[in-house]
Structure 1
């Protein structure tokens, strides 16, 4: 059972490692049971849906809508169908059939600043706070841009966990330093926003 951010914070380093490993195993098992595999970047989601060997494109019924996705063979129950967890750009989302046995689907995210927890809303979720973007992508950026992106990623993770952002942490640090320099002042009734 997933822990709340507060419960997670109370764990020791070893307990966190054990918990993280068990959660990764649970997620991997749930994802392996889906009728497709998927991966994502900040800007898009890629799916691979196995279909019977020898399937031809004209036998497929693939429907990509702004907030829905359905994949199957014409006249049969869909392999997967339901509401997408987030909206996609229809003009930039595509599908292809590879080797007459895999449907590759490319979904372009409308909001390219968020990670998807799942593809279809009724499928198991993944913990997006544990996603590590490929380092090669970040290392391609110049130092200033990379620093800004890393700060945004840190702040986004902190917000998702209900923790202070880097700017809020700086303010708290400055306040603590000020308190230490001025022990004669009473801060017990101070309201900090």
Structure 2
């Protein structure tokens, strides 16, 4: 079994000067962090995970992440969740 290492750092995907999402990965998993705009209800969030494709967006709009994957992923081990960012000052 491959050793699971903590990600060294997170990365940001920037499009037209605006951050779309942050991501990090280990040897075994990839995590994508998306902050919804404040005026978007959580029920409008859309996420579809297929073995070789992932799609994320706001219902009724073109997806802002619509990507074919280089390698198939295990769907039964894949999930998404909505959470809240907590900022410490």
Query: TM-score normalised by the shorter chain: which range applies?
Result: 0.5 to 0.7
The equivalent of 1:72 in structure 2 is 57
User: How many residues are treated as equivalent by the alignment?
Assistant: 71
Q: How large is the RMSD of aligned CA atoms in angstroms?
A: 2.1
Q: TM-score, structure 2 length as denominator?
A: 0.67
Q: Which has the larger radius of gyration?
A: 1
Q: CA deviation at 1:32?
A: 4.3
2: CA distance, partners of 1:51 / 1:79: 12
| Structure 1: segments with no counterpart, 5+ residues | 1-27, 102-193
Partner of 2:28: 43
* Structure with greater helix share of residues: 1
**Unaligned stretches of 5+ residues in structure 2:** 1-10
Q: Secondary structure in 1 aligned to 2:80? A: strand
Deviations 1:93-132 (A, max 9, x none): 1111112x8xxxxxxxxxxxxxxxxxxxxxxxxxxxxxxx
Higher strand share goes to which structure?
2
2:70 partner SS: coil
1:91–1:57 CA distance, 2 compared to 1 (3 A): farther
Shift in Å, 1:85: 2.3
Q: 1:60 to 1:51 in 2, by over 3 A?
A: same
Q: Secondary structure at the match of 2:75?
A: strand
User: How many Å separate the matches in 1 of 2:77 and 2:41?
Assistant: 23
Counterpart position of 2:68: 83
| In 2: Cα distance, 1:83 partner to 1:69 partner | 7
Structure 1 runs, 4 residues or longer, greater than 4 Å off: none
Determine whether 1:33 maps to 2:18: no
